[in-house]
Amino acid sequence: MFKKITSIYGDGIGPEVVKQAMKVLDTIAEVYNHEFVYERALLGAEAIDATGAALPTETVASALNSDAVLLGAVGHPRFDNDPNATVRPEQGLLGIRKALQLYANVRPVQTVPSLHHLSPIKIKAKTGVDFIIYRELTGGIYFGDKFTNEDGTAATDTCHYQQHEIERIARLAFEAAMQRHKKLTLVDKANVLETSRLWRKTIQQIAVRYPEVTVEYLFVDNAAMQLILNPGQFDVILTENMFGDIISDEASVLTGSLGLLPSASIGNSTALFEPVHGSYPQAAGKDIANPIGAILSAAMMLDYFGLQHEATVVRNAVQWTLENGFVTKDIDPVNFYFTSTVGDLICDYI
């Protein structure tokens, strides 16, 4: 199989982890006789430094012309304390989501039994945590009209959803539920928001076509509690953009190993794959970042290419490193391996 991949290193530890993921993809290509060709592109702070723009037009062009995008991380503290800065790394992220119409952000959250001790919550060992979040990524209050009045004394944001925007991600979420434990939880605020009522109505309509899927509705405030109190209850969580931002970050710390978590952002043509962790600039260049989030994102990319067997091989290799203590400093601060070593070990196993 031949695939063209736009590879975006991004900021902080981005380059280091993307390189490991590419190494793993190359190993897969060699063993299973595929050809993956990379085109490098810029995004975020690295793009601002090089071109003045957070999302250069070349990056969009490259991505649109590729089968998938592999992204490291975006963001630099240099920009953090100035919310009024006109050019910000995050614009690159929001821009590429819109340009590629990446409407579904998919985040699996899974605890690894051997790492339960790392979790900040007391996970009931028997159940563990294994769910997947579908967050709408190109609509809602993120992309609605926003303005400040002339004298700067009032501001407005608009949250808008059209039914077809809800339907397309809902279909993906229901299909995922069918492949899993057949439970879908819609997180909304239907007791207050008109858009949430549209989400609920739309999901109720689609649910009819998936009689095997048990559908539950949870207000977002309750969801924020349930994620801590009883995360084992979830299978597929579906939610709108802003709630998804909050809920998925909350969920990502449950496992205690943020560095392990991958994500996929699905659009109409090109999809984007990136680890959940941020750019973590303090660790940049030290070869200590956890490459597993990026490597499992590459595994999601293989799934997306239809290469399920190859994806499983990557996941098994990752599992093997975790079980044998070949882990980075974030997982074991005493007996740890370097980013590149963990990458090498995974490649060797494959």
Ligand X SMILES: CC(C)[C@H](C(=O)O)[C@@H](O)C(=O)O
Q: Which is nearer to a copy of itself, 2 or 125 (CB)?
A: 125
The sign of the torsion formed by the CA atoms of 326, 131, 310, 172 equals negative
| Among residues 93, 99, 177, 331, the one that binds ligand X under rule CB under 6 A | 93
The reply on whether position 193 binds ligand X by CB under 6 A is no
Site membership for a copy of itself, residue 252 (CB under 8 A): yes
Q: Does 85 bind ligand X (CB under 6 A)?
A: no
Q: How many CB atoms lie within 10 A of CB 60?
A: 18
From the candidates 245, 287, 303, 344, give the one annotated as an active-site residue.
245
The CA–CA distances, whole Å, from 211 to 82, 177, 184, 214, 239 equal 49, 12, 12, 8, 20
Residue 350 touches a copy of itself, criterion: CB under 8 A: no
- Asked if 88 is part of the footprint of a copy of itself (rule: CB under 8 A), the reply reads yes
Q: Which of 2, 52, 81, 333 binds a copy of itself (CB under 8 A)?
A: 81
For position 147 contacting a copy of itself by CB under 8 A, the verdict is yes
In SS3 terms, 208-227 reads as CCCCCCEEEEEEHHHHHHHH
CA separation for the pair 106, 169 (Å, rounded):
10
Note if 303 is an active site residue: no
Pairing outcome for strands 236-239 and 183-188: parallel
By CB under 8 A, tell whether 265 contacts a copy of itself. no
Q: Does 102 bind ligand X (CB under 6 A)?
A: no
For residue 74, which of 28, 130, 17 has the smallest C-alpha distance?
17
Catalytic annotation present for 221: yes
Phi, psi for residue 13 in degrees, rounded to 5: -80, 0
Q: How far is the CB of 196 from ligand X (least distance, A)?
A: 11
> Does 250 sit near ligand X (CB under 6 A)?
no
Q: Taking CB under 8 A as the rule, does residue 86 contact a copy of itself?
A: no
d(CA 308, CA 323): 22
Nearest distance in Å: CB 223, a copy of itself: 8
Phi, psi dihedral angles at 259 (to 5 degrees): -65, -15
Number of CB atoms found within 10 A of residue 232's CB:
15
Stretch that binds a copy of itself, among 36-44, 176-184, 223-231, 326-334 (CB under 8 A): 223-231
Regarding 29 and contact with a copy of itself (CB under 8 A), the answer is no
Q: Is 142 a catalytic residue?
A: yes
Which residues 6+ apart lie within 8 Å of 223 measured at CB? 185, 187, 237, 239, 243, 247
Residues at the contact surface with ligand X, assessed by CB under 6 A = 90, 93-94, 191-192, 221, 245
Residues at the contact surface with a copy of itself, assessed by CB under 8 A = 81, 83-84, 88, 90, 94, 119-122, 141-142, 144, 146-148, 152-164, 189-198, 200-201, 217, 220-222, 224-225, 227-229, 242-243, 245-250, 252-254
Show which residues are catalytic.
142, 189, 221, 245, 249
